[in-house]
Chains A and B, each alone.
Chain A
Amino acid sequence: MPELTYAEAARIAIAEEMRRDPDVWALGEDLGRGGVFGQYAGLAEEFGPERICDTPISEASIMGASVGAAMVGTRPIVEMRFSDFALCAVDELVNQAAKARYMFGGQARVPMVIREPIGIWRSSAAQHSQSLEAWYTHIPGLVVVAPATPADNKGLLKSAIRCDDPVVYMEHKNLWGLAGEVPEGDERTIPLGAARVERAGTDVTVVSWSRMVQTCARAAATLEEEGISPEVIDLRTLWPWDRERVMESVARTGRLLVVHEAVAVGGFGAEVAATVAEELGAPVRRLGAPRIPIAYAPPLEDQARVTDEMIAAAVREMA
């Protein structure tokens, strides 16, 4: 299996899907020159400026036009550059894309993938660092995906492109350069709604997604040396999320810790924890950021981070 970065894996996924289906296209600011993170590098050369479409800085239009283009049968990949900028297009996503199928009684389908890079990225400060995935899980009509590995970024993105409903696809900016093995082949999709066991264990179930999966895995390695065996589950898709997998794990381990980079208050961890508590009565805990905007100065920025030490300490207390 070839080693690819997280960014390259996504680029290959898009190229494969665009070769497979002439209705797939991508639009966003500066895509023709490869996108701000190079995640579209070379695609304009292969597919031309119509299908790798440079747009004005008009987030509402990028999102809203994609809704119309999806309704007439094309499959746009919408690049929002930073998830923070997608807030300029909330009506278009929440009131239009997410609602059209339902409010028109099934007459419309809106197959679009909204790429929204999330997360802390050194000194990007309050408007370029947020992880707002929980907001989107609250909206009926949206699928929400947050891949943690290069392999998943290929397989999940391919599934997102093939999905007939709008998918908010949140890649972590700090993962772009992460390298890993990625299966080759056009049909290597990963189903939406299926979690992945990052590391099997018996004592505590640790559920996470996106960049925090790596942090949880490091904490788990430390804990193993101490004789504690956490099971780390990467949720991969936040809506629909893989309840069966999580429930099965907690039924064995008897306790749950949910870890995310987003602010803990009102985070998706609360949903997972509450569901597990309601269904299994197991003890639950959450780790997330304090409810502060993300600061610029590195020592201040670090106050918003969940670290492997914090995860290990929480697991020790629970085990």
Chain B
Amino acid sequence: MTAGRNLDTDRFFAHYATMQRIRAFERAAIRAAREGLATGAIHASIGQEAVAAGVCGNLVRSDLLLSNHRGHGHTLAKGADAGAMMRELFGREGGVCGGKGGSMHIADFGVGMLGANGVVGANILIAAGAAHGVHMRRSRSADDRVVVCIFGDGAVNRGPFLEGLNWAAVYRLPVLFVCEDNGFAATTRTEALTAGPGPKARAESLGLVAAEVDGNDIVAVDALARDFIAAARAGEPRFIHAKTWRLEGHTAADKGAYREAAEVEARWADDPVARCEALLEQAGVESRRLAGARDAAVREMEAVFDEARAADWPAVERAFEDVLDTTAARNAAD
């Protein structure tokens, strides 16, 4: 890890705080699932926080983000409100999607977060299209938004990976693809069912500039993301293969029978949050400040948990809103 005295401590303290907030949010989300309060599947991103913080920390609010089923961290790092997110997981009134989406469809268009996705790989095409739309509008207005799309290693074996990367390359779209490789596609080890030299080579075969990075190294992720986002913004699509490791189950209900406890324990030694903390300490940040950030994150997420539990269910009429009916269609034509 690149460390030492010339570390921009403000920048990495901010990343650290984001990572601690993600970790605390995920812990609360897992607890909510185990207590039956989050009624749907929860895919937590514990162990992967440096990817979310390092990539999304290089975006501005108006930039756009597409995520996958493991999207809480990305969404928080993009600036969504943790309380509205937690209420969404609980399916309550005031959820960021009004309780209609849940964890797998978390979205906050107000901060440019255009949705997680329940279908592996589907976000790649939507991201390419969002970038296409931004690109088209550039000729009429000064729109320099960039689109970032984060998906898992499982997505690289689906057709949309080929179609979406080809699309971004031929139209030279302002998009950065991030393959967040956490070692597993659900309970299957990535390498077991993925042929060839890997995602980077696949991206390069389509003419994209691509790079691999240690996804648990916040400094490396941040530097690469900063570079690639600048290039993507200028219409040079980019690809990052970030190698990380999922430290908890595929879902909150997964007991992880397909991997040894010893392997998981060994991987905790590479915990990206602890690595970031060590780095900041080494650079002279007081451990009191670091502990303060951690405690504040835990308190924040405990509070949003309690708020979500106390929130009302959405009014049942909401089930019939946001979908067209005769009236809506007729109005659109008038």
On chain A, the residues within 8 Å of B117 by CB distance are: 96
On chain A, the residues within 8 Å of B159 by CB distance are: 60
Chain B residues 121 to 140 lying within 8 A of chain A, measured CB to CB, are: 122, 124-134, 136-137, 139-140
Q: Are A68 and B128 in contact (CB under 8 A)?
A: yes
On chain B, the residues within 8 Å of A107 by CB distance are: 97, 107-110
A165 in contact with B328 given A50-B136, A68-B131, A101-B323 (CB within 8 Å): yes
Q: Which of A55, A104, A191 has the most CB of B within 10 A?
A: A104
Q: Are A74 and B131 in contact (CB under 8 A)?
A: no
On chain A, the residues within 8 Å of B324 by CB distance are: 141, 143, 165, 240
Chain B residues 96 to 121 lying within 8 A of chain A, measured CB to CB, are: 96-101, 105, 107-110, 114-115, 117-119
Q: Is B95 an interface residue (CB 8 A)?
A: yes
Q: Is B170 an interface residue (CB 8 A)?
A: yes
Q: Among B64, B133, B332, point to the contact of A165 (Cβ < 8 A).
A: B332
On chain A, the residues within 8 Å of B332 by CB distance are: 159, 162-165, 192
Q: Is B184 an interface residue (CB 8 A)?
A: no
Chain B residues 314 to 333 lying within 8 A of chain A, measured CB to CB, are: 321-326, 328-330, 332-333
A68 in contact with B132 given A102-B100, A105-B95, A143-B329 (CB within 8 Å): yes
Chain A residues 14 to 73 lying within 8 A of chain B, measured CB to CB, are: 22-23, 25, 50-51, 55-56, 58, 60-61, 63-73
Number of A-B contacts (CB under 8 A): 166
Name the CB-closest residue of A to B139.
A50
Q: Are A104 and B170 in contact (CB under 8 A)?
A: no
Q: Is B160 an interface residue (CB 8 A)?
A: yes
Q: How far is the CA of A163 from the CA of B328 in the complex (A)?
A: 9
Would you give the shortest CB distance from B126 to chain A, in whole angstroms?
A: 4
On chain A, the residues within 8 Å of B101 by CB distance are: 103-105
A141 in contact with B166 given A103-B100, A104-B109 (CB within 8 Å): no
Name the CB-closest residue of A to B164.
A61
Q: How far is the CA of A105 from the CA of B137 in the complex (A)?
A: 26
On chain A, the residues within 8 Å of B118 by CB distance are: 95
Q: Are B126 and A74 in contact (CB under 8 A)?
A: no
Chain A residues 234 to 248 lying within 8 A of chain B, measured CB to CB, are: 237, 240
Q: How far is the CA of A74 from the CA of B328 in the complex (A)?
A: 20
A70 in contact with B140 given A103-B100, A105-B99, A143-B329 (CB within 8 Å): no
Q: Is B334 an interface residue (CB 8 A)?
A: yes
Would you give the shortest CB distance from A237 to chain B, in whole angstroms?
A: 8
Q: Which of B99, B101, B133, B328 has the most CB of A within 10 A?
A: B133
On chain A, the residues within 8 Å of B313 by CB distance are: none
Q: Is A181 an interface residue (CB 8 A)?
A: no
On chain A, the residues within 8 Å of B334 by CB distance are: 191
Q: Among B126, B329, B330, point to the contact of A68 (Cβ < 8 A).
A: B126
Q: How far is the CA of A186 from the CA of B302 in the complex (A)?
A: 57
Would you give the shortest CB distance from B133 to chain A, in whole angstroms?
A: 4
Q: Is A140 an interface residue (CB 8 A)?
A: yes
Q: Are B125 and A68 in contact (CB under 8 A)?
A: yes
Q: Which of A23, A65, A165 has the most CB of B within 10 A?
A: A65
Name the CB-closest residue of B to A98.
B323
Number of A interface residues in the complex (CB < 8 A): 51
On chain B, the residues within 8 Å of A261 by CB distance are: none
Q: Is B191 an interface residue (CB 8 A)?
A: no
Q: Are B133 and A73 in contact (CB under 8 A)?
A: yes
Q: Are B136 and A163 in contact (CB under 8 A)?
A: no
On chain A, the residues within 8 Å of B122 by CB distance are: 64, 91-92, 95-96
Would you give the shortest CB distance from A51 to chain B, in whole angstroms?
A: 8
Q: Is B227 an interface residue (CB 8 A)?
A: no
On chain B, the residues within 8 Å of A189 by CB distance are: 333
Q: Is A100 an interface residue (CB 8 A)?
A: yes
Q: Is B13 an interface residue (CB 8 A)?
A: no
Q: Is B163 an interface residue (CB 8 A)?
A: yes
Would you give the shortest CB distance from A250 to chain B, in whole angstroms?
A: 18
On chain A, the residues within 8 Å of B127 by CB distance are: 68
Q: When each residue 177-192 of chain A gets 1 if its CB lies under 8 Å from chain B and 0 otherwise, what string results? A: 0000000000001111
Q: Are A64 and B128 in contact (CB under 8 A)?
A: yes
Q: How far is the CA of A240 from the CA of B323 in the complex (A)?
A: 12
On chain B, the residues within 8 Å of A192 by CB distance are: 329-330, 332-333
Q: Are B333 and A141 in contact (CB under 8 A)?
A: no
A105 in contact with B133 given A95-B122, A96-B122 (CB within 8 Å): no
Would you give the shortest CB distance from A151 to chain B, in whole angstroms?
A: 15
Q: How far is the CA of A5 from the CA of B78 in the complex (A)?
A: 51
Q: Among B115, B128, B166, point to the contact of A104 (Cβ < 8 A).
A: B115
Q: Which of B96, B107, B130, B332 has the most CB of A within 10 A?
A: B332
Name the CB-closest residue of A to B66.
A68
Q: How far is the CA of A108 from the CA of B106 in the complex (A)?
A: 12
On chain A, the residues within 8 Å of B134 by CB distance are: 72
Would you give the shortest CB distance from B154 to chain A, in whole angstroms?
A: 15
Q: Is A290 an interface residue (CB 8 A)?
A: no
Q: Are A105 and B97 in contact (CB under 8 A)?
A: yes
Q: Are A102 and B107 in contact (CB under 8 A)?
A: no
Q: Among B98, B126, B160, B166, point to the contact of A106 (Cβ < 8 A).
A: B98
Task: Name 14 A/B residue pairs within 8 A (Cβ), A-sorted.
Answer: A56-B170, A58-B167, A61-B164, A64-B129, A65-B125, A68-B131, A71-B114, A71-B126, A71-B129, A72-B114, A102-B322, A191-B333, A194-B330, A240-B325
Question: Closest 6 A-B residue pairs measured CB to CB?
Answer: A64-B125, A68-B129, A65-B129, A105-B98, A105-B97, A69-B133
Q: A60-B160, A193-B326 are in contact. List 19 more A-B contacts (CB 8 A).
A: A23-B137, A56-B163, A58-B167, A63-B125, A64-B126, A64-B160, A68-B114, A68-B125, A68-B133, A71-B130, A72-B134, A95-B119, A95-B122, A104-B101, A105-B101, A106-B322, A107-B110, A159-B333, A165-B329
Chain B residues within CB distance 8 Å of chain A? 64, 66, 95-101, 105, 107-110, 114-115, 117-119, 122, 124-134, 136-137, 139-140, 147, 159-160, 163-164, 166-167, 170, 321-326, 328-330, 332-334
